[in-house]
């Protein structure tokens, strides 16, 4: 069985606003209020459209591009949203670029979110065989290690910290 989450967004528009020139949404009114309706359905796999995954990825791409356009001056408030939506597309480069969300989460002590974001980015980079500079990869591993340590998951934290140090060419020393 497959569970499908149906999300419909109803927007109420201000009739006089016509900004966003250059975007595919130009000419639309600015949403004053957004109503979000969520319903869950479950279907056997045979009943799904063959291109449902493609449509889902395109929807996430459109949402991520919308956030980038609206917050083009400062993306930092939406890093985690961008990381999530780009991670749902097939564009691994874009997903990995928003690893800043994981860094933000570590610094804000949102450690579980940091583990989720950083782990997803590392997996995504490996799956797509992205050529990541060793120092950048080491930084991610060290952040992930820090998040695990903050969650009191010391074994996993140590593994990631040791991996990060190894990538930097440093060896951890045992404390007696």
User: How far apart (Å, rounded) are the C-alpha atoms in residues 9 and 62?
Assistant: 14
51-176 CATH fold: 1.25.40
| Weakly modelled stretches of the chain, pLDDT under 70 | 1-50, 170-176
Q: Under DSSP, is residue 132 helix (H, G, I), strand (E, B) or coil?
A: coil
The pTM of the full predicted model, rounded to 2 decimals, is 0.62
- What does the pLDDT read at residue 150? 96
Instruction: Pull the structure tokens for residue 164.
Output: 């990060």
- What does the pLDDT read at residue 153? 96
- What does the pLDDT read at residue 101? 86
- What does the pLDDT read at residue 49? 59
Q: Please, are residues 95 and 89 in contact by the beta-carbon 8 Å criterion?
A: yes
From 83, 163, 87, select the one nearest 124 (Cα to Cα). 87
Quote the longest CA-to-CA distance of the chain: 70
Render pLDDT for 82-93 as a digit per residue (tens, 0 to 9).
Answer: 888 888 887 877
Where are the chain's structural domains? 1-48, 51-176
């Amino acid at each position: 069985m497959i569970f499908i989450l149906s999300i419909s967004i109803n927007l109420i528009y201000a009739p006089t606003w016509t900004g966003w020139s250059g975007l595919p949404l130009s000419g639309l009114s600015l949403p004053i209020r957004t109503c979000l309706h969520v319903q869950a359905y479950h279907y056997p796999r045979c009943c799904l459209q063959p291109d449902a995954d493609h449509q889902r990825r395109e929807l996430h791409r459109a949402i991520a591009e919308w956030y980038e356009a609206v917050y083009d001056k400062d993306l930092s408030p939406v890093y985690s949203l961008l990381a999530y939506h780009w991670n749902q597309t097939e564009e691994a480069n874009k997903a990995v670029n928003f690893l800043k969300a994981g860094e933000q989460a570590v610094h804000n002590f949102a450690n579980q979110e940091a583990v989720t974001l950083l782990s997803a980015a590392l997996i995504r980079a490996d799956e797509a065989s992205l050529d990541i500079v060793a120092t950048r990869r080491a930084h991610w591993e060290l952040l992930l290690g820090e998040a695990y340590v903050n969650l009191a998951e010391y074994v996993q934290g140590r593994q990631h910290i040791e991996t990060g140090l190894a990538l930097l060419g440093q060896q951890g020393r045992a404390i007696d």
